[in-house]
Structure formats: C-alpha cells, structure tokens
Amino acid sequence: MALKVAIVGRPNVGKSTLFNRLVGKRLALVDDRPGVTRDRRYADGNIGDMDLTLIDTAGYEDVTDDSLEARMREQTEAALDDAEVVMFMMDAREGVTSLDRIFAERLRKVHKPIILLANKSESRESGGGVGEAHALGFGEPVAISAEHGEGMADLYQALLAASADIFIEEIDEPDKPIRIAIIGRPNAGKSTLINRMLGEDRLLTGPEAGITRDSISVDWEYEGQAIRFVDTAGMRRKARVQEKLEKLSVADTIRAITFAEVVVLVMDKDDAFDTQDLQLADLVEREGRALVYVASKWDLEEEPQAKMAELKSLAENKLPQLKGSPFVALSSHNGRGIERLMPAIIKAYETWSVKVKTKDLNTWLAMATQRHPPPAVNGKRVKPKYMAQTKARPPTFVLMASRASDMPEHYQRYLVNSLRESFDLPGTPIRLTVKSGAPNPYAEGGAKSGPERYKGTAKTAPRKVLKAEKAAEALSNLPGKALEQKKSGIKPKVKALGGLKASSSKKAGQSIAIQKGARGGARQVSRSGRVRTGQKHAPKK
C-alpha cells in the first residue's frame, strides 16, 4: 500500500502544481487565480522508488461560517485526518504571511509528520522567504520549485525520514473498477447524488451553481464490485462559456466521458431534455458509452407517474439512437428512489459489454433479410453474405455484403434496430460497418497482378508464331544487298567462276556467289545466304 500524503497550504501557493508533478499527469486544474481547487482529490503518484497516494486540497481559509470557503476548509481538514504525512506548502517569494501562521497553529494539533515546503524557490528573490520559514517551527524547510521540478531529491529524502516510523500495509490489488461519470448542467445535483450514494459528505455541495471545477474520482464498492465515481463540472452551452477556467473544466468533463464506461446524465425534472441535455447525450453516444438517465428532485413532483411517462416519451422521440436507455427518477436530498440507480447502472454496463455468437448473428441476419430484403440500387440488389462481432464495449459488428458502398443508410438503421430488439440491447450504442468481400488480387489492377509482360517469345506460343519469328530473325542476319533483294523478292544473280557451269555449283558446301562485304573486300556466301568463313577467296581452277 502506498504512503498517503496530503498537500496543504493557503490559496495559490502551488499545491496543485506539485500534485500534478508527483502524479505525472495534469489531473488538477491550475490557474493564476487563487481558489481554483475546491474539493479534495486523490491520485496515485511516486517520487523515486516510493509509491504515494496524494491528496490535493483547497486553499486554507480562516472562516467558520456557512460560506463556500468554510465548506472548502472542512474538506481540507478531512484530508488532514485521512493522511499519514502532511506537506505544508508556503510561498517563498512572499515569505511567511499571517494566514500561514494561523494554519501552522492548526497543524501543530495534528499528531502526524509534517514537512515544510518553500515553493517558488527558483529565483534569488525567494532566499529571504526560505529563511523566514524557520520561524513556523517545523524544522528545516525544503526549498523546491513545483513548476520547474527543482528540489525533488531533497523532498524525497524528507519523505523517507518522515515515513520511517510509519507501517505501510501490503494489500492485494482490487479488481478493475467500473468507471462511472456523473454529468449534467450546473446545479443539477451531481455531487449531492454521489454523497448520497457514499453515505458521507465526500464532495463539496451547496446552493451555488458551478461549485465543482475538477473531475473528482471517488472509489466505492457495491455488492463486491469495485466502483469508481467521477464527479464532473456542470457543462453550459458553448456560447456561454467565456472564461478560461470554465473552458478547462469543460475539457476535463469531456475527458472524463471519454475514459468512462457508464455515463449517468443527471437532469432537473422540470426542464429535462433541453438543448444542452440532448447535446450531452449525443456526445455520450458518439463516444460509445453506456448511458443512464436520472431525473433529480423527484420528491417535489406531484404527479410522478404522468411525469415519468412524459419524460420517457421525450427520450424516445428526441434521442432515437439511444432508445431503451434506463431511466431512474430519484431525490438526492432525501434518498427517495436512490436504490434503483445502481441496478440500472450494472445492467447498462452488462449490456454494453455483451458478446454475440457468430452463429446466432447469421441466423438472425437470414431472418432479417428475409423479412425485409435490402433494396435494389441502380437495378442491382445488395446481397448481405455473413455477419460477425469484432469487439464489445460498445458492441461492434461487421456485415460482409456485395456492393456494400451502395447499401442505404435507412437499411443500416433497420439492421441496427433489429439487432437491438432481437438480442436485447436497449440503450447501448451499436456500431455497424458494412464491407465488401476481398477483391481478387490477381485480377487486372489487383495487388498481385504485376506489370503486363511480353508474350512474343514465350515457349507456349503457337507454332506459326515461332516459325514467323525464326524467319524474321534469319532475314535480319542477311548482309548488304542480299537483305534488300530478299525483302524486294529479287533473286540474286549468280556468276560462274572461271568457266564453271552453274549446275556444278549446286553441290553442298560449295560457294555460289561472291559479294562485297560492308567494309569492302570479297566474302563467300553459301546457298543459305550465310557467309563462309572457312575461305577468304574463291578457289582457283
């Protein structure tokens, strides 16, 4: 088990920056203005070879009334009670302030190891502030720079010394939890719902809108199943989001939806399914996550049955792509209907993770195409061949068909709706991809067809072709005028040598004519037209 460390201090001293550095991710929102962090956030991190469970807290304010700052202080004190080592951070540039002294008095009552951190110590101006930190009474301050990563080696040594007498129990790693993101518009009751599920005031709540800024994850266990709730900031319409901090909060909420497995959309019963709720539900469907609708503040409804029928009708009409998603009406204030939420979430998760056998899919495909055959496009009918599921979460199917690119969208919607009804997949996003069969690689233009080769000299060519090519080759070897006479059809004149009769020249191996070569001089030519190389001159009688 990791060492549990809480990072505390007054506002805007760099607690979230150090938290992000030790975690290795930009989990906590960071801004120049004070008071960005409001809830306490847990995350696993490390420094050197030491595993840590870090707790980021809100800035400490010296107020005890019913204000938001007072509720933030309660969250910080809860983190102090839960931690094993406390890292008290001050700003070395500003030095020790009156609020630092007040908080130091509070920390002296905590009987736990306390490490004093002097942050922003990278400049020369911070030297005096580091010296003033000795007056707080927590020993030698550790000069660090959370922004630039300076002083981490000294912090590691301080943590080793502080945790020397702390027994860290080794426990088995829990099963992978089901990640559940709670989303909705501002002041819809998301944090109150999680607190009611946990049975404690884990998250900061109040009548003010937009209290939650970070996406806070909380681990829980339900009937032996590990659960991880992620509380998100309320999302307003994009046109209304102007401030940089709110843009960061919205981006953090979208990231939480992306990494969630089940998303719970919390809506006010009086104005449910307005434009923003529809856009959030559509975003969940496009991300391929399971969705559960929650109508909050149900204890104020006078006619619950009629209102429930109206809301379900709105969901089916405005979000047909998520038809059949679970709908839970509850009240986070008094807990009415809260027991129906987790069974709906577990059912949506199981449906989202379903796997269908290929045999059952193809049996269904034959019945579906027989009941409603695919339409003909340009006079040719699209023919579905077979179907298979490639993955789950969400269920993804591939349909092999001829002329797949011509299959109309409305027929694909028919197949998806029929899949949803036949295999009991209500509400979960379904992905269907239509593909054609693999093309012939050896066809013309295929991947293995290769360049077209010349077949004139192939051994399998017809005999007439081979004979004509042989004659053309012999013709091309004739020298000088013999070639021209052969082409023109004129027989060459044969001159007898030294009174030799023409008939006597018909004997094999005897030259019949003497012609001049290309370079001059006499060469002997045989009956077949080839030059005799055995003799250079005609024989003398």
Mean pLDDT of 273-290: 92
So what's the pLDDT on residue 497? 46
So what's the pLDDT on residue 510? 46
Model confidence at 49, pLDDT cuts 50, 70, 90, reads confident
> Is a pLDDT exceeding 80 seen at residue 35?
no
Residue numbers in the known binding site are: 9-16, 56-60, 119-122, 184-191, 231-235, 296-299
- Strand pairing category for 262-268 and 178-184: parallel
DSSP code, position 462: -
Helix (H, G, I), strand (E, B) or coil at 400: strand
For residues 84 and 7, what is the distance between their CA atoms, to the nearest angstrom?
Answer: 11
Question: pLDDT tens-digit profile of 149-193?
Answer: 999 999 999 999 988 877 665 555 557 899 999 999 988 889 999
Query: Looking at the domain covering 178-353, what would its CATH class be?
Result: alpha beta
So what's the pLDDT on residue 414? 93
For residues 312 and 329, what is the distance between their CA atoms, to the nearest angstrom?
Answer: 11
Helix (H, G, I), strand (E, B) or coil at 281: helix
Nearest to 182 by CA among 237, 249, 232, 234: 232
So what's the pLDDT on residue 64? 75
Residue numbers in the known binding site for GTP are: 9-16, 56-60, 119-122, 184-191, 231-235, 296-299
> Is a pLDDT exceeding 90 seen at residue 267?
yes
Q: Which residue has the tokens 């969400």?
A: 394
As a whole number of Å, the CA-based R_g of the chain is 44
Nearest to 5 by CA among 156, 221, 211, 222: 156
5-19, 120-134, 325-339, range with the lowest pLDDT? 120-134
H/E segment holding residue 227: strand 225-231
So what's the pLDDT on residue 485? 57
Model confidence at 466, pLDDT cuts 50, 70, 90, reads low
> Is a pLDDT exceeding 60 seen at residue 512?
no
- Find out whether 163 and 84 touch, Cβ atoms under 8 Å: yes
Model confidence at 531, pLDDT cuts 50, 70, 90, reads low
Which residues make up the CATH 3.30.300.20 domain(s) of the chain? 358-436
CATH number of 3-28+40-167: 3.40.50.300
- Find out whether 17 and 9 touch, Cβ atoms under 8 Å: no
So what's the pLDDT on residue 1? 63
What percentage of the chain exceeds 70 in pLDDT? 79
Which residues make up the CATH 3.40.50.300 domain(s) of the chain? 3-28+40-167, 178-353
102 versus 540: the higher-pLDDT residue is 102
So what's the pLDDT on residue 514? 44
Helix (H, G, I), strand (E, B) or coil at 519: coil
Say how many CA atoms lie within 13 Å of 61 toward its Cβ. 20
Amino acid at 330: L
Mean pLDDT of 37-52: 88
CATH number of 358-436: 3.30.300.20
Supply 462's token pair.
Answer: 């017809």
For residues 422 and 420, what is the distance between their CA atoms, to the nearest angstrom?
Answer: 6
Model confidence at 502, pLDDT cuts 50, 70, 90, reads very low
Question: pLDDT tens-digit profile of 200-247?
Answer: 888 888 777 778 878 889 999 999 899 999 999 888 877 667 677 778
